[in-house]
């Protein structure tokens, strides 16, 4: 069937409401009788609640109710759970201390901002006033924030029942003895100790929730800025509040960006839902940006020692990793999976490394939870591998492009050639790694670059180029596989294609769009598959009452998994439609072909349109015997494998030798995300990812002091990329289809963020070497001061 | 409580407001003009940008009472009368200058003020002008292109009317 929309940069249908200010985000919603919540939070990272005095607050104007940790404790509600289980090396279950909705008297806060009470009032201002009048007596205790320090003897303990602050230890790959041996026999070993710093996601829309219990229908509604309404409903109903799931509706209206931080089930969601029943009125809570900095789950935060062994010709022989991964104080929804199954499993990278071993400790600290942030584990794996590659090239006096090429896994399409089995559990679906590197190098004009670099160095300017080639795993993934790896949920997606009697089509998707443009991309797919105009297709998502149980949007999975579910439903529609058409045309189904929105008897001009068949399905006066009326199909799609996008990112920087300031001169990204439905949207996803990855390299990073205070918890202090920090990006793509889903797509949401960070850091290191400063590492973000200091050492 | 009178998107409103009420909250809560977003508490993100007497202003950085007697335009009133969209609104759609849309309204309001004073900007000038507006989704690449598109369109429109 010819495609009219797939492959085209169709302008987004959702844009109209956003550009006119008519988007409807949770904080825009007002309900009759709505109250407002404000939380009383711990000013200390670790402190015992000695007493709480509500007397002054209770009498403040407008106060409706105040609930404390003691009230919650009395109900028996334990707290929010994690959705993934990782076992200790010895097989014991990980430590999973409860994460209470509010801290009770006698218990301790475990990170700055941990809540002790919630004040509900007629207005937001009244709630804030009263929350400030709540008197809490605290006993401050020692804290630990760094995952490596948390593992040392004598470190402050986060949970009494997690000795050594260890949530779990974990390993993956070839037996350690074999890897040790291979490293010992290597002609050259590049080793690097580094920190992959803690990132704060910072979606521009702060989290916002409205809990609304309606007594007359005994039903709860939760409006939430979430990436996955059903997952929130399941976690909240089944594991936190014990509510009947069919009596709870979770709505994710317009959501202003997520980047992972809005996947997780947060305590405030459960709290406003629970409390709205207690006061029998709706309750809204919208976090301030200061709260967002403190409380939205952070990302990354690894302390790592990595060693890569090479033979005399530069062939990689082995990789040995020891990592301390910060999990924060409580295990957030996907937290245990991120440093393990989304990170350790990617350490093969693009290379044929025969021996790999990772040893990892998941650490509790007195910091907010660390969980998936755009890329989730894959950026950490890529950073590690690609830093080692460029550094090894410098150390061995080899060309970084050449070194990669000689170690690349050869191209394989996953159809006539098998997928690639890694040493770390995964099997890559299809890849052509040299293709993207060659294209990137061509765009760079590499031959001339070294010449320019030498000339620049002679003129006192340091130019550097940094390479990064990555493979990632997304479209998460077969339920059976993730179940075996510890997921407590399936990871399929749902889709219902409801053909209306007039031939218009409503599609209900379990995916959730918070910027990705599903309303456009999905409609392009549906319109082409059915041969109807895009205007005839409406995409509905974000309402647990309307949509079948779905898993939501993260891990670059929406089109690969959610889109495939839609295709499955379309196939069912067409199959039934053919029966109706055959009846109308008085022929056998096998005589029909479907194209351009109609069934035609092959070799004739006799046809019946999609709209005609739809109408007949709902007005079945003359109709195939025994066939049910209606044209409406649901599907669940559980993929056969993850998808494995890959690409090549190249950064060119200039370093000011006087100040250490790094200027990003060029950024080239050649990504292969499989087939592309909407190139404009895919490019946009890459752009956004690049900005976040470059932000990590040069600007961003959470800083806790040793008492656990977040000292850069505002936009005044945390340097997020602004428009004048970035160049125009130079993009190209290669399309290697995914062999195992019907659209051949792989996923593009995280790629930009996965490849870019090491490219930038490598470029700065390259620039410094070219100026005679052979430094191995500079701690991210590469601020002028750090770069300057590196040049002095 | 203090009484204020403001003209917003061409319509006059009078309200009794708390003296501490921020203009951003007044627009959102009292007038239900929720296209003006709030993304921070330090006047850093620009999501709340509106026009006050023709100048772009972060509406979280002033009190509603300070706007007494002023003329305000929000995103809901930006399109010139007779048109459905302002050229910047068209440009953002045409060039995929938005993803989640949360920063977009403030971004467009900032850019609209900027293009009034600099109808023919360079890429660098655009980036500099929008430095007070955070976007976490787009990496700014397509925002710059959107503003360039709009500048071009406005020039062409002007040439037609001249
Ligand atoms: S809300 Fe006004 S600048 Fe952020
Ligand atoms: S479009 Fe999402 S923050 Fe700019």
Same-domain check for residues B18 and B73: yes
Tell me whether residue B29 is in a domain.
Answer: yes
* Residues A656 and A524 sit within 8 Å (Cβ to Cβ): no
Strands of the sheet containing A115-121, edge to edge, are A63-68, A115-121, A35-41, A283-286, A208-214, A219-224, A248-251
Residue ranges of chain A with pLDDT lower than 50? Answer: none
Same-domain check for residues B61 and B121: no
Dihedral Cα A579, A583, A588, A593, nearest 10 deg? -60
Structure confidence by residue, pLDDT tens digits, B144-161: 999 999 999 999 998 887
Tokens for A218, please give them: 């005994």
Same-domain check for residues B101 and B50: no
- Closest partner CB to B98 (pick from A15, A24, A289): A15
Same-domain check for residues B17 and B45: yes
What span, in angstroms and rounded, lies between the C-alpha atoms of B20 and B63?
6
Mapped onto helix, strand or coil, the DSSP state of residue A412 is strand
- Residue recorded with tokens 């930038």: A760
Pocket test for ligand 2, best of A257, A681, A692 (most atoms within 8 A of CB): A257
What span, in angstroms and rounded, lies between the C-alpha atoms of A734 and B154?
36
User: What pLDDT score was predicted for residue A1?
Assistant: 56
CB atoms within 10 A of CB A552: 28
User: What pLDDT score was predicted for residue A477?
Assistant: 75
Mapped onto helix, strand or coil, the DSSP state of residue A443 is helix
Domain boundary among B49, B77, B105: B77
Q: Residue B162 pLDDT more than 80?
A: no
Same-domain check for residues B42 and B91: no
| C-alpha distances in Å from residue A684, one per residue of B87, B108, B146 | 21, 18, 13
Domain ranges, residue B40: 2-77
How far apart are the CA of A405 and the centre of ligand 1, in A?
A: 48
All domains of chain A in start order, with CATH: 31-141+205-256+262-295 (3.90.1170.50), 391-476+642-792 (3.30.365.10), 492-637 (3.30.365.10)
Contact yes or no for B20 and A680 at CB 8 A: no
* Ligand 2 neighbour B98 (Cβ under 6 A): yes
Helix residue spans in A558-630 (DSSP H): 564-585, 610-618
User: For position B121, which CATH number holds?
Assistant: 1.10.150.120
Tell me whether residue B116 is in a domain.
Answer: yes
What span, in angstroms and rounded, lies between the C-alpha atoms of A391 and A192?
9
Mapped onto helix, strand or coil, the DSSP state of residue B17 is strand
- Phi–psi pair at A292, nearest 5 degrees: -60, -45
User: What pLDDT score was predicted for residue B160?
Assistant: 83
Q: Nearest Cα to A571, choosing from A515, A520, A622, A525?
A: A525
**A208: β partners:** A286
Who contacts A484 (Cβ-Cβ below 8 Å, separation ≥6)?
A: none
What span, in angstroms and rounded, lies between the C-alpha atoms of B8 and B6?
6
Contact yes or no for A28 and B45 at CB 8 A: no
Same-domain check for residues B72 and B91: no
Tell me whether residue B82 is in a domain.
Answer: no
Contact yes or no for A514 and B100 at CB 8 A: yes
Cα of B7 to nearest chain A Cα, Å: 18
What span, in angstroms and rounded, lies between the C-alpha atoms of A775 and A764?
10
Domain boundary among B77, B108, B131: B77
What span, in angstroms and rounded, lies between the C-alpha atoms of A144 and A590?
70
Q: Nearest Cα to B78, choosing from B104, B96, B100, B41?
A: B104
Transcribe A346-373 into DSSP letters. Answer: GTTTTB--SEEEEEEEEEE-SS--B---
| Chain A residues within 8 A of B39 when measuring between CB atoms | 204-206, 256, 289
- The predicted model scores a pTM of 0.97
Cα of B74 to nearest chain A Cα, Å: 9
Interface test with A, best of B97, B112, B140 (most A CBs within 10 A): B140
What is the domain count for chain B? 2
Same-domain check for residues B102 and B151: yes
What span, in angstroms and rounded, lies between the C-alpha atoms of A135 and A58?
11
| Chain B residues within 8 A of A720 when measuring between CB atoms | 134, 136
What span, in angstroms and rounded, lies between the C-alpha atoms of A134 and A212?
25
Same-domain check for residues B107 and B47: no
Tell me whether residue B58 is in a domain.
Answer: yes
Tell me whether residue B13 is in a domain.
Answer: yes
How far apart are the CA of B42 and the centre of ligand 1, in A?
A: 7
The tally of CA atoms less than 13 A away on the side-chain side of residue B41 is 11
How far apart are the CA of A204 and the centre of ligand 2, in A?
A: 7
User: What pLDDT score was predicted for residue A633?
Assistant: 98
Same-domain check for residues B93 and B53: no
Q: Nearest Cα to A70, choosing from A57, A56, A51?
A: A51
| C-alpha distances in Å from residue A771, one per residue of A8, A218, A424, A461 | 46, 71, 38, 8
- Residue recorded with tokens 């015997």: A625
CB atoms within 10 A of CB A368: 28
What span, in angstroms and rounded, lies between the C-alpha atoms of A16 and B94?
11
Interface confidence: ipTM more than 0.95? yes
Helices A400-407, A378-396: crossing angle, 10 deg rounding: 120
* Residues B79 and B85 sit within 8 Å (Cβ to Cβ): yes
The tally of CA atoms less than 13 A away on the side-chain side of residue B15 is 18
Tell me whether residue B162 is in a domain.
Answer: no
Same-domain check for residues B7 and B73: yes
User: What pLDDT score was predicted for residue A490?
Assistant: 87
User: What pLDDT score was predicted for residue A476?
Assistant: 82
Tell me whether residue B12 is in a domain.
Answer: yes
* Maximum C-alpha span of chain B: 50
| C-alpha distances in Å from residue A403, one per residue of A85, A179, A316, A468 | 38, 21, 9, 12
């Amino acid at each position: 069937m010819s495609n009219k929309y797939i492959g085209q940069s169709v302008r987004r249908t959702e844009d109209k409401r956003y550009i006119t200010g008519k988007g409807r985000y949770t904080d825009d919603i007002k309900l009759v009788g709505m109250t407002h919540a404000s939380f009383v939070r711990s000013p200390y990272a670790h402190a015992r609640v000695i007493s709480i005095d509500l007397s002054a607050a209770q009498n403040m104007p407008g106060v409706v109710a105040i609930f404390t940790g003691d009230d919650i404790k009395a109900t028996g509600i334990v707290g929010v759970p994690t959705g993934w289980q990782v076992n200790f090396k010895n097989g014991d279950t990980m430590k999973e201390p409860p994460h209470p909705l509010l801290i009770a008297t006698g218990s301790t806060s475990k990170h700055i901002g941990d809540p002790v009470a919630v004040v509900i009032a007629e207005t937001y201002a009244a709630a804030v006033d009263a929350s400030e009048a709540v008197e809490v007596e605290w006993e401050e205790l020692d804290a630990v924030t760094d995952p490596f320090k948390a593992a040392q003897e004598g470190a402050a303990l986060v949970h009494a029942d997690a000795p050594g602050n260890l949530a779990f230890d974990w390993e993956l790959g070839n037996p350690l003895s074999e890897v040790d041996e291979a490293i010992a026999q290597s002609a050259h070993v590049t080793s690097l100790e580094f920190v992959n710093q803690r990132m704060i996601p910072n979606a521009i829309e702060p989290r916002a929730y409205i809990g609304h219990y309606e007594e007359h229908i005994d039903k709860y509604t939760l409006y939430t800025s979430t990436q996955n309404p059903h997952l929130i409903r399941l976690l909240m109903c089944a594991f936190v509040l014990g509510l009947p799931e069919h009596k709870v509706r979770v709505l994710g209206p317009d959501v202003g960006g997520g980047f992972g931080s809005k996947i997780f089930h947060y305590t405030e969601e459960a709290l406003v839902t629970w409390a709205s029943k207690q006061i029998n009125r709706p309750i809204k809570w919208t976090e301030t940006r200061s709260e967002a900095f403190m409380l939205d789950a952070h990302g990354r935060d690894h302390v790592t020692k990595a060693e890569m062994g090479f033979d005399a010709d530069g062939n990689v022989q082995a990789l040995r990793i020891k990592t301390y991964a910060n999990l924060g104080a409580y295990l957030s929804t996907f937290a245990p999976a991120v440093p393990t199954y989304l990170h350790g499993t990617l350490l093969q990278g693009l290379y044929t490394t025969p021996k790999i071993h990772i040893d990892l400790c998941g650490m509790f600290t007195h910091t907010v939870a660390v969980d998936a942030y755009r890329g989730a584990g894959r950026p950490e794996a890529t950073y590690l591998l690609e830093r080692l590659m460029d550094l090894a090239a410098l150390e061995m006096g080899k060309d970084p492009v050449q070194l990669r090429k000689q170690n690349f896994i050869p191209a394989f399409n996953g159809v006539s050639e098998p997928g690639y089995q890694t040493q770390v559990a995964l099997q890559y679906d299809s890849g052509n790694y040299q293709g993207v590197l060659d294209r990137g190098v061509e765009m760079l004009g590499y031959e001339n670059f070294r010449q320019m670099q030498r000339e620049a160095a002679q003129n006192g300017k340091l130019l550097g180029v940094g390479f990064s080639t990555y493979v990632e795993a997304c479209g998460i993934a077969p339920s059976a596989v993730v179940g075996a790896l510890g997921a407590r949920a399936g990871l399929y997606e749902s889709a219902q294609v409801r053909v209306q009697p007039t031939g218009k089509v409503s599609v209900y998707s379990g995916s959730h769009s918070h910027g990705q443009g599903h309303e456009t991309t999905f409609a392009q797919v549906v319109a082409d598959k059915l041969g109807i105009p895009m205007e005839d297709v409406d995409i509905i998502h974000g309402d647990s009452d309307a949509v079948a149980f779905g898993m939501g949007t993260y891990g670059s999975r929406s089109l690969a998994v959610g889109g495939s579910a839609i295709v499955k439903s379309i196939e069912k529609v067409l199959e039934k439609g053919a029966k109706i058409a055959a009846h109308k045309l008085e022929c056998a189904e096998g005589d029909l072909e479907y194209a351009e929105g109609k069934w035609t008897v092959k070799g004739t001009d006799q046809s019946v349109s999609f709209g005609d068949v739809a109408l007949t399905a709902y007005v079945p006066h003359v109709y195939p015997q025994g066939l049910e009326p209606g044209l409406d199909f649901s599907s669940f799609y559980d993929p056969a494998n993850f998808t494995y996008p890959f690409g090549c990112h190249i950064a060119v920087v200039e370093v000011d030798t006087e100040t250490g300031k790094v200027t990003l001169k060029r950024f080239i990204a050649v990504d292969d995300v499989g087939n592309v439905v909407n190139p404009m949207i895919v490019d946009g996803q890459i752009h956004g990812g690049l900005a976040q990855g470059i932000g990590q390299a040069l600007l961003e990073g959470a800083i806790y002091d040793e008492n656990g205070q977040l000292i850069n918890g505002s936009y005044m202090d945390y340097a997020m990329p602004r428009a004048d920090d970035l160049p125009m990006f130079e993009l190209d793509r290669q399309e290697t289809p995914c062999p195992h889903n019907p659209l051949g797509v792989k996923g593009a949401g995280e790629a930009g963020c996965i490849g870019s960070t090491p490219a930038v850091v490598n470029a700065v290191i390259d620039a410094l070497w070219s100026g005679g400063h052979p430094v191995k590492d500079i701690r991210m973000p590469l601020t002028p001061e750090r770069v300057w200091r590196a040049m002095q050492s | 409580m203090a009484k204020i009178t403001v003209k917003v998107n061409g319509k006059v409103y009078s309200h009794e407001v708390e003296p501490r009420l921020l203009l951003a909250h007044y627009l959102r809560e009292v007038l239900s003009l929720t296209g003006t977003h709030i993304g921070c508490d330090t006047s850093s993100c620009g999501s709340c940008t509106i026009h006050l007497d023709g100048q772009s202003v972060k509406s979280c950085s002033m009190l509603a009472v300070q706007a007494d007697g002023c003329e305000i335009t929000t995103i809901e009133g930006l399109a010139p009368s007779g048109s459905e969209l302002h050229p910047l609104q068209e440009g953002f759609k045409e060039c995929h200058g938005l993803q989640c849309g949360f920063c977009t309204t403030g971004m467009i309001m900032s850019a609209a003020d900027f293009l009034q004073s600099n109808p023919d900007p360079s890429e660098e000038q655009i980036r500099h002008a929008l430095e007070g507006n955070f976007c976490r989704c787009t990496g700014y690449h397509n925002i710059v292109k959107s503003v360039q598109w709009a500048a071009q369109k406005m020039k062409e429109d002007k040439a037609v009317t001249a």
